[in-house]
Amino acid sequence: MSLAHTAAEYMLSDALLPDRRGPCLKGLRLELPLDRIVKFVAVGSPLLLMSLAFAQEFSSGSPISCFSPSNFSIRQAAYVDSSCWDSLLHHKQDGPGQDKMKSLWPHKALPYSLLALALLMYLPVLLWQYAAVPALSSDLLFIISELDKSYNRSIRLVQHMLKIRQKSSDPYVLWDELEKARKERYFEFPLLERYLACKQRSHSLVATYLLRNSLLLIFTSATYLYLGHFHLDVFFQEEFSCSIKTGLLSDETHVPNLITCRLTSLSIFQIVSLSSIAIYTILVPVIIYNLTRLCRWDKRLLSVYEMLPAFDLLSRKMLGCPINDLNVILLFLRANISELISFSWLSVLCVLKDTTTQKHNIDTVVDFMTLLAGLEPSKPKHLTNSACDEHP
């Protein structure tokens, strides 16, 4: 008998979680995996395309090539290229004496517009970092700590019950104490549950999360409008007519009125435009999916922690509208599941619980660990019937 009790004590001691606080929780993920992907793609892709545009400019020299008259010297031809790139105006004759001009400035502004787009897409990330991360990190640290402590308290309760069983020769003492504790709800630790219930009435985190993703959608729509309005207008124009008869050259007769120039960087311009549209088109469903996750509860995580006496949000039907801070916290608890050591233990107990529910009345981790320690979680029926016969 003593060997069985010793084995039970070792088993319960091994089931206790190590007390790891402070530096061990510095690896908290304060961004959801999909949000991190959206951030890297939305901010990184414009920077990558900008580097491509600058690399093409540095490698091939001038982004345009003008067909200067044959009597122009090399320096005059270089002046024509520089002047036409500075103005970047396409002159078109609509009629006799009518000169219509069309600006091709999106070609010149391409790398800078990509830089502005990257900075714009980083604004929602900054909003989340400064408005939500401080409160979220403190919430996660407290909740993770309390969940693990609640699990440890349940194990220590079973250890205490095992000591009671060792000290008392009467088995009725253990069962009576256990039934009394269940009726008086001594096994409940309401601090965590009440804290989570308060988070259902708070909406600061969810408002910041909604604002972050809404801003991403707004900035993506603005990108579509910019590309459609400005880039589409000059998307297929490879050549344009440039006029250099300005200033001191306006009265020179040997200078032609219009000089044809060719945009050598048109292919890069088209690749950047199409790539931007494709990338942000792929991101839009991901952002919308992130928003739709706030419309449902992660009941898988909640059901596992229903094994704790202090955690019965599901059984009491305390969950209401999912658009609140508690749902955001649950999403981040799922993302930080590696920090929840108690989750792996409780997941195993849930699986074992499902295989033994027909034989034993097991509701919490206390009941299951009591059974594993070699104690009956409730008074055996034959003893209950015999007690009733003795005391009719």
* CA distance linking residue 272 with residue 274, whole number of Å: 6
CA atoms within 13 A on the CB side of 163: 6
Among positive and negative, which fits the CA dihedral 249, 253, 256, 258?
positive
Q: Check pLDDT > 50 for residue 382.
A: no
Among residues 28, 56, 59, 226, the alpha carbon closest in space to that of 137 is found at 28
Q: What would the mean pLDDT of 29-46 be, rounded to a whole number?
A: 93
Q: Per-residue confidence at 127, pLDDT binned at 50, 70, 90? A: very high
Condensed to tens digits (0 to 9), the pLDDT of residues 332-368 reads 999 998 888 888 877 777 776 666 645 555 556 555 5
Query: Does residue 215 lie in a domain region?
Result: yes
CA distance 57 to 150: 62
What's the number of domains the chain is made of?
Answer: 1
Least confident of 103-117, 154-168, 304-318: 304-318
pTM of structure: 0.80
pLDDT tens per residue, range 289-338? 999 999 888 777 877 877 776 565 655 556 778 899 989 999 999 999 88
Judge whether 366 and 309 are in contact, CB under 8 Å.
yes
**18 C-beta neighbours (distance < 10 Å), count:** 9
Owning domain of residue 117: 1-47+104-236+277-371
Q: Note whether residue 203 is domain-resident.
A: yes
Under 8 Å between Cβ of 392 and 178: no
Least confident of 222-231, 262-271, 300-309: 300-309
335: Cα separation from own chain's centroid = 8
Eight-state DSSP code of residue 162: H
Residues 150, 290: Cα–Cα separation, whole Å: 31
Highest-pLDDT range among 246-255, 282-291, 350-359 = 282-291
Region label for 73, one of left (φ > 0), alpha (ψ between -120 and 50) or beta (otherwise): beta
- Residue 260, amino acid: T
Alpha helices in the chain (DSSP H): 2-15, 33-60, 74-87, 105-108, 110-131, 133-167, 171-184, 190-200, 204-226, 266-292, 299-305, 325-335, 341-356, 365-372, 381-390
- Find the farthest-apart pair of alpha carbons in the chain and give their distance in angstroms, rounded: 129
Assigned domain for 9 exists: yes
Measured CA to CA, the distance from residue 206 to residue 322 in angstroms comes to 10
Does 263 reside within a domain? no
In a domain, 292, yes or no: yes
> Is 262 domain-assigned?
no
Distance of CA 216 to the CA centre of its chain: 13
Of the chain, the percentage scoring pLDDT greater than 90 comes to 26
Single-letter residue type at 249: L
- Of the candidates 123, 115, 324, 113, which has an alpha carbon nearest to the alpha carbon of residue 215? 123
- Distances in Å between the Cα of 63 and the Cα atoms of 109, 132, 234, 331 are 12, 45, 15, 49
The DSSP annotation for 119-152 comes to HHHHHHHHHHHHHTHHHHHHHHHHHHHHHHHHHH
Predicted confidence (pLDDT) at residue 129 exceeds the cutoff of 90: yes
388 assigned to some structural domain: no
Residue 50: name the closest of 268, 372, 200, 229 by CA.
Answer: 268
Task: Please report the pLDDT score of residue 388 as a whole number.
Answer: 41
Asked if residues 328 and 205 have their Cβ atoms less than 8 Å apart, the reply is yes
**SS3 labels along 68-110:** CCCCCCHHHHHHHHHHHHHHCEEEEEEECCEEEEEECHHHHCH
The mean of the pLDDT values for the chain is: 77
Closest to 309 measured CA to CA, from 187, 173, 134:
187
Q: Which of 298, 279, 296 is nearest to 287 (CA)?
A: 279
Judge contact between 90 and 101, C-beta under 8 A: yes
* Residue 87 in domain: no
Is the pLDDT at 204 greater than 90? The verdict is yes
Look up residue 319 and give its two tokens: 């969950």
Q: What whole-number distance in Å separates Cα of residue 4 and Cα of residue 181?
A: 25
